[in-house]
Structure 1
Amino acid sequence: MTRSGPVLAVDVGGTSIKAAVLDPDGTEALRRVVPTPFADGPDAVIGALRDLAADRVAAASDAGSPVRAVGVVVPGVVDPDAGIARYATNIGWRNAPLRDLVTSSTGLPTAIGHDVHAAGLAELALGAAVGVADALIAVLGTGVASVVVSGGRVVRGATGTPGEIGHIPVGDPGVRCGCGAFGCTEMFSSARGVARLYAERTGRPLDAAEVVARLGTDPDAAAVWQQATGTLARALVCGTLLTDPARIVLAGGLAQAGDALVIPTKDAVAAGMPWRAAPDLVASPLGARAGLLGAGILARELS
Structure 2
Amino acid sequence: MTDRPAVLAVDVGGTTIKSAVVDGDGKRRLAHAVPTPVADGPAAVVETLRRLVSAQATAARAAGEPVTAVGVVVPGVVDTSRGIARYAANIGWRDVPLRDLVRTDVALPVAVGHDVRAAGLAELALGAAGDSADALIVVVGTGIAGVVVAGGTVVEGHAGIAGEIGHIPVGDLEVRCNCGAFGCLEMFSSARAVSRMYAERTGTTLAADQIVARLGEDADAREVWRSATATLARGLVCAALLTDPQRVVLAGGLSAAGETLREPVAAAFAAGMPWREAPELVVSELAGAAGLVGAALLARDAAEEGPA
Contact 2:78 2:113 in 1 (8 A): yes
Q: Distance in 2 between matches of 1:197 and 1:40?
A: 24
How does 1:1-303 map onto structure 2 within 5 Å? Answer: 4-302=4-302, 303=305
Q: Does the residue aligned with 1:170 lie in a helix, a strand or coil?
A: coil
Task: Give the TM-score taking structure 2 as reference length.
Answer: 0.97
Kindly provide the CA deviation profile for residues 119-166 of structure 1, in whole angstroms up to 9, marking residues without a partner as x: 001101111111111100000000000000111121111111111110
Q: Aligned letter for 2:186?
A: E
Q: Aligned letter for 1:82?
A: R
Q: Identity over the aligned pairs, expressed in percent?
A: 65
Q: Distance in 1 between matches of 2:175 and 2:140?
A: 19
Q: Does the residue aligned with 1:301 lie in a helix, a strand or coil?
A: helix
| Contiguous gaps of at least 5 residues in structure 1 | none
Q: Distance in 2 between matches of 1:158 and 1:43?
A: 29
Contact 1:3 1:300 in 2 (8 A): no
Q: Distance in 1 between matches of 2:12 and 2:172?
A: 29
Does 148-157 or 179-188 show the bigger shift?
Answer: 148-157
Q: 1:80 to 1:18 in 2, by over 3 A?
A: same
Kindly provide the CA deviation profile for residues 98-117 of structure 1, in whole angstroms up to 9, marking residues without a partner as x: 00000001111100000000
Contact 1:3 1:301 in 2 (8 A): no
Q: Aligned letter for 1:167?
A: H
> Number of residue pairs matched?
302
Q: Aligned letter for 1:176?
A: R
Q: CA deviation at 1:24?
A: 3.9
- Structure 1: which 4+ aligned runs deviate by more than 6 Å? none
